[in-house]
A and B are shown apart, each in its own frame.
Chain A
Amino acid sequence: MSKGDELRRRFPEDKVLARLSALGLVARYPMLGNVAGKHRSPVRGSSLEFAQYREYVPGDDPRRMDWRMWGRSDRFYIKEFEADTNLRLCLIVDTSGSLAYEANGISKAEVMKKLAATLAYVASRQGDAVGLFGVGERFHTQIRPRRNATHLRVVLNALDALEIGGKTGLDSALHEAAESTRQRALVVVISDLFLEPEVLNRCFRHLRYRRHDVCVFHLLDRSEVAFEFHRPTRFRDLEGDGAILTDPGLVARPYRKAMDDWLGELGKVMRDSAVDYRRVSLHENIEDVLLRFLLGRKPKPKGDRQR
């Protein structure tokens, strides 16, 4: 199968990919890349973007001295510019059994793969390094971020080969990712996050501590929130062998309350951890989701930069 065929099979149409690629994926925080790229760097470089004046010290390159400033003030100043660099995109995808949940013929796993593949494609197109980490009970797929021309195919093939099943070990995987990714990176987590908010809070704080730009695509279908069942139903656990036979009329109200409470706490965790949080329902158009995501990451007007 050719690469073009693969993309068409897993991703939205070519026109959609073209539109998304045109928007580009931007890091919210300065990245430490190894080559020039589209993202801000914490070090000064030679881009066209003026950064600051600095007094000359012996050893500085005299070519970067601003002679106009010497003419006006009779003192030597170095004119510094922003450095642009590439980023590392770490795609951490949840492959536990709960990702097999389907609504209207679409499973969370499919959405997860489309999101991951599209993001990988967009990042690869703009020269960023893309890595993929598949998480079941632990990391079972680890592809370190690279930026060579054939790496995208490796990532896409790995995505295609991901098997869904087993329990989730997302919390330990996130801690491990935070430790193992040495340089700053854009960490995109795609999962249904069925863990206690406090556990997730520790994971995201860990990632943020390591100065990673963390983004979460939360796969949660509205049928899981609304819980609109009327007849007695046997709910089979997708992450194990267990099942619960219950009357939805009895459990609907407490279920919804538990779900509301959990979502409320999760939102608070995301805000506190400065995580770019995106909730995705299975019925939503992937292009719309990614459009909102990419537009939301566009740089704000000057003065909004952070270190």
Chain B
Amino acid sequence: MSFLQPWMLFALPLVALPIVIHLINRQRYRTVPWAAMMFLLKAQRLERGMARLRYWLIMLLRMVAVAAMLFAASRPLVSERLGGFQLGGPEMTLVVLDRSASMEAKELQTDRSKRSVALEKLADLLSRRQHGKRLALLDSGTGAVRQLDNPAQLAESFYTRATAAGADLPGLLERALSYLQANEAGRVDLWICSDLSASDWDAASGRWTAIRESLAELKGVQLYLLSYGERPQDNLSIRVENVRRRQGVDTSELVLDVTVRAWDRQRSGSVSVTFEINQVRSLVELELASGAASLTGHRIPVGDQVLSGWGSVEIPPDSQPADNRYYFAFAEPPVRQAAIVTDDSKVGDTIRLGLEIPSEIGVQHAVEVVPASRAGAIDWEELALLVWQASFPAEPLAGQIRDFVDSGRAALIFPPERVDDASLFDARWSDWQALTGEEQRLTWWRGDTDLLARTAAGDPLPLQQLRIFRHRQPQVGSAIPLAWLEGERPLLVRSASGRGHVYFWGTLPMSGYSTLEQDAVAFYVMLQRALTRGSKGLLEVEQLDAGFELQERLATAAPVAPVQAAPLVSERGLLAGVYRRENRWLAINRSPAEDDPAIVSEPDLERLFQGLSWVRIDDQVADQSLLASEIWRLLLVLLAVALVLEAFMCLPDRARRPASSGEV
């Protein structure tokens, strides 16, 4: 409960007025000579029962009437969900708004989303309730704090519109903390409007500890979590997992892998999937089994002249419109070029063999082996993968390699035979080590993703048989290990640089160094995957997850889709759609995490805000009740009832017959 006119509550001691008047009256008694004392004594004995109770009830009703009048004048706002008793308002109110795609889940009858309902209710509440001198908004779309003039702007602001992006709640709260610390706000109401999506909240993140401690240090911060945790079970989401253009002998076609998932894992039945490419629509019926359906290798013919373009897949509308459409772009796959820089021709030949043979139909590979001395002559523009087996180069070649990787392509580095102290990508090689016995075996490798991931059939790569006889350990500043030898000695690590990746492999594919040459399957797969990854940097298309960080890249791009509603420049990157920048197609969609219906569990939520002053308000889109309402009318009714009851209890006894003489 809070009050719009809290200063009126200072008059609350007036509630004791009836008692004070009673006590004053008792002191101002008058003396009456009285004859019928026997009846007074009897009455006093009887008065200790019901009469006294009645008297105190009258007193209580008078006090209730005064209290009701004072409370009505202080204009209380009441909500079961807000909880607590709040006298006065905060100095500042900061609203942290989750604008993620999952917040667009709608109530079909009212056609209102969680986000719009939350904003509307919060604007209403803040317009009634004191929100302090400052009202600020921190939205997950832009991640910036903006001052608002009045609560009504919450519902109208450009920065509270829908997005297809995710939300980083820990990051948002870190920014909120920075803002509050910078502004040295005193008493602050911090509102978090979210649908509690597990991926957005990332409850396992270590950042929460620091957030919790910092919030606890900031005295006077009252947290309100306005949550919309309900998940519509009728929701289906669609996503294109893979799309490629394939040039046949006499025809060209797109090959798509599409998945449809239901939030209800038990759901079955059919779902219509509409494909739209070059304004040509086609319809496919999919059968859901255990809440999922997939369409693999679905072919859609396109004209020979159409070398690149975009399209979308769509499912019928449901309660979550943000995941009913998925945009994709396609282009003719480029020739996958790889350059092998080595002074050892045998090593060069071995690697070239692994790279030359294409693993996919319709894709061309071109591989050249270059000695280290001629590395400067490599055409970096068309190259997808650089395989380097030589001493790390000096500038300017080192810079060219860094630019090459930063542009989104890949480099695979093998150790040189000669030991030196050179470095590249902040990495050095240790000395050669001869391995014996069990040291030669891989004890662990990452099989879920990257170069050593399982095959499409789910089988692990045959790395158990691999033996490493000589090994140079890559010493990289920040790298992710992908394979270990005995003693957690890294054999393969990955380091990120710009948009690309650099892989360090700690041995050579030669007898005497390893059995890679003999166990060629794993080696072949590893090389092909590295080339495929590098070639993505050359693709004319990019599938990107929506996010504010794309805005700069898309500022100069031309919006292509959706056709009817081109996004504003400041919305680019936040909304799903397709853009064209020079010759590249950029398809923007929600991140896969937004399709996950999981929400933060109750224990996790309790843990995240443990020790903080916070109130959770679980709301629903269909719930039309306001977060708080004024109850002065109710108090006036209470006042009237108290006065009527008081008057009723004060009624004199029934009319008495006047005493008169006469016979009995």
List A residues at the B interface (Cβ < 8 Å). Answer: 97-102, 108, 192, 194, 220-222, 224-226, 229, 231-239, 242-247, 249-259, 262, 266-267, 270-271, 276-281, 284, 289, 292, 296
Contact = CB atoms under 8 A, between A and B. Distances in A.
A11 B659 CA distance: 24
B661 to A, nearest CB: 5
A197 to B, nearest CB: 12
A236 B656 CA distance: 25
Interface stretch (B40-48, B63-71, B172-180, B369-377): B40-48
Contacts of B51: 250-251, 253-254
Contacts of A262: 39
Given A225-B658, A229-B32, A255-B43, 9 more contacts: A222-B658, A232-B28, A236-B31, A238-B35, A253-B43, A256-B653, A258-B42, A281-B658, A289-B661
Given A251-B47, A258-B42, A277-B664, A232 B34 contact: no
B660 A279 contact: yes
Nearest to A225: B659
Given A234-B31, A236-B34, A292 B661 contact: yes
B392 to A, nearest CB: 103
B664 A251 contact: no
A247 B35 contact: no
Contacts of A250: 47, 51-52, 55
Of A102, A246, A289, the most chain B CB neighbours within 10 A belong to A246
B662 A279 contact: yes
Contacts of B653: 252-253, 256
B38 interface: yes
Interface in B534-575: none
B659 A221 contact: yes
12 contacts: A99-B35, A192-B36, A194-B37, A225-B658, A226-B656, A250-B47, A254-B42, A254-B44, A254-B51, A258-B46, A262-B39, A289-B661
Contact of A108 (B31, B35, B37, B42): B35
B32 A235 contact: yes
B452 to A, nearest CB: 94
B633 interface: no
A237 B659 contact: no
A272 B95 CA distance: 89
A238 B33 contact: yes
B67 to A, nearest CB: 22
Contacts of A277: 663-664
Contacts of A259: 36, 39
Nearest to A244: B40
Contacts of B32: 229, 233-236
A220 B659 contact: yes
Contact of A254 (B37, B46, B656): B46
Q: Interface size bucket, B side?
A: 35 or more
B663 A236 contact: no
Nearest to B45: A254
A270 B663 CA distance: 10
Contacts of A266: 664
B55 A244 contact: no
B30 interface: yes
Contact of A194 (B25, B30, B35, B58): B35
A234 B25 CA distance: 12
A284 B660 contact: yes
Contacts of B55: 247, 249-250
Given A222-B658, A238-B35, A289-B661, A254 B30 contact: no
A155 to B, nearest CB: 23
Interface string B626-664: 000000000000000000000000100100101111111
A229 B31 CA distance: 12
A258 B36 CA distance: 11
B96 to A, nearest CB: 59
B292 to A, nearest CB: 79
A286 to B, nearest CB: 10
Contacts of A254: 42-47, 51
B133 interface: no
Contacts of A99: 35
B653 to A, nearest CB: 6
A239 B664 CA distance: 27
Nearest to A262: B39
Interface in B42-86: 42-47, 51-52, 55, 58
A292 B660 CA distance: 12
A296 to B, nearest CB: 7
A251 B47 CA distance: 6
Closest 7 CB pairs of A and B: A254-B46, A98-B35, A255-B43, A222-B659, A254-B43, A101-B35, A235-B34
Contacts of B22: 247
A235 B40 contact: yes
A244 B44 contact: yes
B10 interface: no
A247 B34 contact: no
Contacts of B418: none
Interface of B: 22, 25-26, 28-47, 51-52, 55, 58, 650, 653, 656, 658-664
A267 B650 CA distance: 31
A225 B43 contact: no
Contact of A258 (B29, B39, B663): B39
B656 A225 contact: yes
Contacts of B659: 220-222, 224-226, 279, 281
Contacts of B30: 231, 233-234
Contacts of A252: 43, 653
A249 B53 CA distance: 12
Of B35, B38, B39, B43, the most chain A CB neighbours within 10 A belong to B35
Contact of B664 (A231, A238, A242, A270): A270
Nearest to A282: B659
B34 A101 contact: yes
B195 to A, nearest CB: 61
Given A249-B55, A255-B43, A278 B33 contact: no
Contacts of A108: 35
A231 B661 CA distance: 29
B24 to A, nearest CB: 10
B664 A271 contact: yes
A237 B37 contact: yes
Nearest to A234: B31
A246 B44 contact: yes
B28 A235 contact: no
Of B55, B58, B656, the most chain A CB neighbours within 10 A belong to B656
B33 A102 contact: yes
A224 B36 contact: yes
B40 A231 contact: no
A235 B44 CA distance: 12
Of B22, B45, B661, the most chain A CB neighbours within 10 A belong to B661
A235 B37 contact: yes
A28 B158 CA distance: 109
Contacts of B34: 101, 235-238
B613 to A, nearest CB: 48
B72 to A, nearest CB: 28
Contacts of B44: 244, 246, 251, 254
A170 to B, nearest CB: 13
A124 to B, nearest CB: 24
A135 to B, nearest CB: 16
A235 B46 CA distance: 17
B43 A258 contact: yes
Nearest to A242: B37
A255 B37 CA distance: 10
A101 B33 contact: yes
B661 A280 contact: yes
A271 to B, nearest CB: 6
A266 B55 CA distance: 31
A299 to B, nearest CB: 17
A239 B43 CA distance: 18
B658 A232 contact: no
Contacts of B52: 250
Nearest to A284: B661
